[in-house]
């Protein structure tokens, strides 16, 4: 069903679409709790999991400029299980509304969730072909796989292939790149850093912070290594000298060491000492309050023996 | 680096012109190249075979001028004034700009006195004008002028053409940088491990203390039962307040 696409279109996907699809899926899934005993959801029969993961559907919109297709946004659609098609009047209404706000956006295709493209999806795909001659099918796999390194999103196009003498439309997978606007970058960054707060303890937060710095330095390291390799190659004569690059590298290297003035050392040490002092002070306060509590408990516990029939002074 | 991008076209132009000409005609091309306000890179032109041919002929002065502009400074020009042709004011300006770049190679903070000496400028006002108008607005240098301490702090300076020996030192600097960042990575990993180990130890310690508290509680409650039976007669009410201990 899925081979590599040959249409030559380049796809650019915005993170907003991915967040929308996953949000839609999460909402529907959590609203199904407790799950219905009778399977009334419109999923494909005979799914392997016990709990039928609900499938959500919607439309993706964006811009197509020449050979580049950029998918900006998406919205949800209702799926009618009886007719195996999407809700057309709603789609038209939404299309008009979006056209008013974003006049340049066209409906580029549709999305759904699941692990793989199914045969029944072709019906929906064909139905959308009257809006867009070659719609896209964006599939999000909601199964969480911790070992997987790339996004579980695939974009399928439809191509006419001749199979067994019959020309058929099949889905072919296409590659895509992620394109971000500044606002999207900020929100994705924010969400990515949200994890450690529910970890709570100081050690995990410190570890998370250090891990972030570690990966940043590792990236810098790999890039410096590439430059180093390149220069060594140039010195040995394997690579022809490119003067403009050498000039840029020399100007870059002249910026090192980046911070070495005396004033920096002073400020840095002062701030370091301040932090240490405050930690020490906090520790002191903690200790003295614990000591105070201990003394109180001691008094209450052991004072009683001497209190028989008389009063003793408080320690 | 936008300077490099700006220069790329100019360099291509001049390379084409220079490779098409020979001898004295080349001299005029070199003159044009060295006076052009946005061109600071000459090693491509120097590398051309037609230019290298100038060595030893009567036009070798042009080659010397090109070499001076590629690697030398204003003081080099002054000391060799006799063997080199007279420079046009544009060339003088460019040579002074290149001198600033060379000075920026060695120090990041340049005192005004040194700059004034190198550039043959007598007062501070002229020096600052030169730095601001010719160097910073041209984009070859970025930095801060500190009037109180009379120095120029350079944050960024465009690269000059490389002398053959400089490649080795650049590689050395790069490998040092690599080494430092590798060490830093290792020490960060150790810190992360330390943080995890300390939190583990802390959790264990806390658990131990809680276990001991439980034990003591149990033993005290056992003792309480035996004690309360004996002393129930006299201190009944007071002993029942033993729960304060817990």
CATH label of the domain that carries residue A23? 3.40.140.10
Q: Pick from B2, B159, B182, B193 the residue to mutate for testing the A interface (most A CBs within 10 Å).
A: B159
Task: Give the pLDDT score at B7.
Answer: 76
Task: Give the pLDDT score at A279.
Answer: 95
Quick one: A57 and A136 in the same domain? yes
Residue A138: is it exposed, middle or buried by C-beta count within 10 angstroms (0-12/13-18/19+)? buried
Quick one: A21 and A140 in the same domain? yes
Quick one: A147 and A16 in the same domain? yes
Quick one: A27 and A171 in the same domain? yes
Share of chain A above pLDDT 90, in %: 11
Q: Please report residues of B whose CB lies closer than 8 A to that of A224.
A: 174, 177-178, 181
Quick one: A218 and A247 in the same domain? yes
Closest-CA residue to A205 (of B201, B185, B196, B200): B196
Comparing CB atoms, the residue among A228, A297, A300 nearest residue B178 is: A228
Q: Please report residues of B whose CB lies closer than 8 A to that of A311.
A: none
Task: Give the pLDDT score at A1.
Answer: 45
Minimum distance, in Å, between the CA of residue B82 and any CA atom of chain A: 31
Quick one: A115 and A221 in the same domain? no
Please indicate whether, in this complex, the C-beta atoms of A214 and B188 are within 8 angstroms of each other. yes
Q: Please report residues of B whose CB lies closer than 8 A to that of A298.
A: none
Quick one: A68 and A129 in the same domain? yes
In a domain, A242, yes or no: yes
Angle between helices B60-71 and B23-35 (to 10 degrees): 30
pLDDT higher than 80, residue A227 = yes
Quick one: A232 and A286 in the same domain? no
Q: Which residue of A has its CA nearest to B181?
A: A221
User: Pairing between strand A68-77 and A85-86?
Assistant: unpaired
- pLDDT range class, residue B1, cuts 50, 70, 90: low
Task: Give the pLDDT score at A199.
Answer: 59
Asked which of A160, A177, A194 is the last residue of a domain, the reply is: A194
Highest-scoring range by mean pLDDT, A73-77, A311-315, B27-31, B37-41: A73-77
pLDDT higher than 60, residue B244 = no
Compare B18 and B234 and report the one with higher pLDDT: B18
Compare A289 and A28 and report the one with higher pLDDT: A289
Compare A293 and A169 and report the one with higher pLDDT: A293
* Segment holding A273, helix H or strand E: helix A262-306
Task: Give the pLDDT score at A200.
Answer: 64
Interface TM-score (ipTM) > 0.90? no
- pLDDT range class, residue B243, cuts 50, 70, 90: very low
Task: Give the pLDDT score at A296.
Answer: 93
Closest-CA residue to B99 (of B40, B169, B147, B52): B40
Task: Give the pLDDT score at B214.
Answer: 94
pLDDT higher than 90, residue A295 = yes
Instruction: Specify the range with the lowest mean pLDDT, choosing from A21-35, A255-269, B209-223.
Output: A255-269
Compare A176 and A201 and report the one with higher pLDDT: A176
Average pLDDT over residues A298-305: 78
Quick one: A190 and A278 in the same domain? no
- pLDDT range class, residue A35, cuts 50, 70, 90: low
Task: Give the pLDDT score at A271.
Answer: 95
Q: Please report residues of B whose CB lies closer than 8 A to that of A214.
A: 185, 188-189, 192
Quick one: A223 and A282 in the same domain? no
Residue A148: is it exposed, middle or buried by C-beta count within 10 angstroms (0-12/13-18/19+)? exposed
Query: Domain total for chain A?
Result: 3
Number of A to B CB contacts under 8 A, please give it. Answer: 111
Please indicate whether, in this complex, the C-beta atoms of A251 and B159 are within 8 angstroms of each other. yes
Please indicate whether, in this complex, the C-beta atoms of A247 and B158 are within 8 angstroms of each other. yes
Task: Give the pLDDT score at A292.
Answer: 96
Segment B93-111, tens digit of pLDDT: 888 888 888 888 877 888 8
In a domain, A59, yes or no: yes
- Report chain B's terminal Cα–Cα distance, integer Å: 71
Hey, is A76 helix, strand or coil? strand
Task: Give the pLDDT score at A306.
Answer: 60
In a domain, A163, yes or no: yes
Please indicate whether, in this complex, the C-beta atoms of B4 and A248 are within 8 angstroms of each other. yes
Q: Please report residues of A whose CB lies closer than 8 A to that of B9.
A: none
Instruction: Specify the range with the lowest mean pLDDT, choosing from A194-198, A232-236, B133-137, B191-195.
Output: A194-198
Quick one: A129 and A203 in the same domain? no
In a domain, A43, yes or no: no
Range of the domain at A215: 197-256
Q: How far is CA B13 from CA A311, B10, B44, in A?
A: 105, 5, 11
Q: Which residue of B has its CA nearest to A232?
A: B171
Segment A250-286, tens digit of pLDDT: 878 877 766 667 778 899 999 999 999 999 999 999 9
Instruction: Specify the range with the lowest mean pLDDT, choosing from A50-64, B178-192, B193-207.
Output: A50-64
Compare A104 and B6 and report the one with higher pLDDT: A104
Quick one: A166 and A139 in the same domain? yes
Task: Give the pLDDT score at A262.
Answer: 77
Highest-scoring range by mean pLDDT, A42-56, A154-168, B35-49: A154-168
Domain boundaries, chain B: 2-157, 165-245
């Amino acid at each position: 069903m899925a081979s590599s696409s040959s249409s030559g279109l380049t796809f650019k996907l915005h993170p907003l679409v991915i967040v929308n699809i996953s949000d839609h899926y999460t909402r529907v899934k959590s609203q199904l709790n407790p799950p219905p005993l009778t399977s009334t959801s419109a999923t494909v029969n005979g799914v392997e999991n016990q709990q039928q993961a609900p499938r959500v559907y919607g439309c993706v919109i964006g811009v197509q400029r020449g050979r580049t297709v950029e998918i900006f946004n998406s919205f949800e659609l209702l799926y009618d299980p009886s007719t195996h098609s999407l809700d057309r009047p709603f789609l038209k209404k939404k299309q008009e509304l979006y056209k008013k706000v974003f006049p340049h956006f066209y409906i580029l295709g549709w999305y759904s969730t699941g692990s793989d493209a199914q045969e029944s999806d072709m019906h929906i795909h064909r139905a959308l072909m009257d809006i867009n001659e070659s719609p896209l099918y964006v599939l999000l796999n909601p199964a969480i796989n911790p070992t997987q390194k790339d996004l579980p999103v695939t974009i399928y196009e439809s191509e006419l292939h001749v199979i067994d003498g019959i020309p058929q439309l099949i889905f072919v997978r296409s590659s895509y790149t992620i394109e971000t606007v500044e606002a999207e970058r900020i929100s994705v960054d924010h969400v990515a850093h949200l994890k450690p707060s529910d970890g709570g303890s100081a050690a995990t937060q410190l570890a998370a912070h250090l891990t972030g710095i570690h990966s940043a330095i590792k990236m810098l390291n790999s890039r410096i290594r590439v430059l180093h390799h390149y220069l060594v190659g140039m010195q040995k004569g394997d690579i022809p000298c490119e003067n403009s690059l050498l000039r840029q590298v020399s100007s870059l290297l002249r910026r090192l060491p980046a911070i070495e003035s005396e004033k920096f050392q002073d400020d840095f040490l002062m701030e370091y000492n301040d932090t240490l002092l405050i930690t020490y002070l906090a520790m002191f306060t903690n200790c003295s309050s614990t000591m105070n509590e201990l003394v109180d408990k001691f008094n209450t516990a052991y004072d009683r023996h001497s209190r028989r029939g008389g009063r003793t002074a408080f320690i | 680096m936008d300077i490099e991008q700006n220069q790329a076209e100019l360099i291509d132009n001049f390379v084409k012109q220079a490779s098409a000409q020979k001898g004295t005609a080349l001299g005029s091309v070199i003159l044009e190249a060295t006076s052009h306000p946005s061109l600071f890179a000459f090693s491509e032109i120097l590398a051309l075979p037609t230019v290298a041919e100038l060595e030893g002929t009567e036009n070798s002065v042009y080659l010397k001028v090109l070499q001076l502009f590629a690697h030398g400074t204003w003081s080099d020009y002054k000391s060799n004034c006799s063997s080199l042709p007279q420079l046009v004011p544009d060339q003088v300006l460019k040579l002074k700009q290149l001198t600033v770049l060379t000075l920026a190679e060695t120090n990041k903070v340049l005192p005004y006195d040194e700059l004034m000496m190198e550039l043959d400028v007598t007062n501070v006002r002229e020096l600052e004008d030169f730095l601001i108008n010719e160097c910073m607005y041209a984009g070859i240098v970025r930095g801060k002028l500190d009037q109180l301490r009379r120095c120029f702090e350079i944050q960024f300076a465009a690269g000059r053409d490389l002398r053959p020996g400089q490649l080795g030192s650049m590689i050395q600097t790069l490998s040092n940088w690599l080494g430092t960042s590798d060490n830093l990575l290792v020490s960060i990993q150790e810190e992360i491990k330390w943080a995890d180990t300390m939190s583990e130890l802390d959790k264990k310690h806390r658990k131990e203390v809680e276990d001991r508290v439980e034990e003591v509680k149990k033993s005290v409650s056992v003792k309480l039962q035996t004690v309360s039976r004996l002393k129930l007669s006299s201190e009944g009410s007071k002993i029942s307040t033993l729960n304060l201990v817990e």
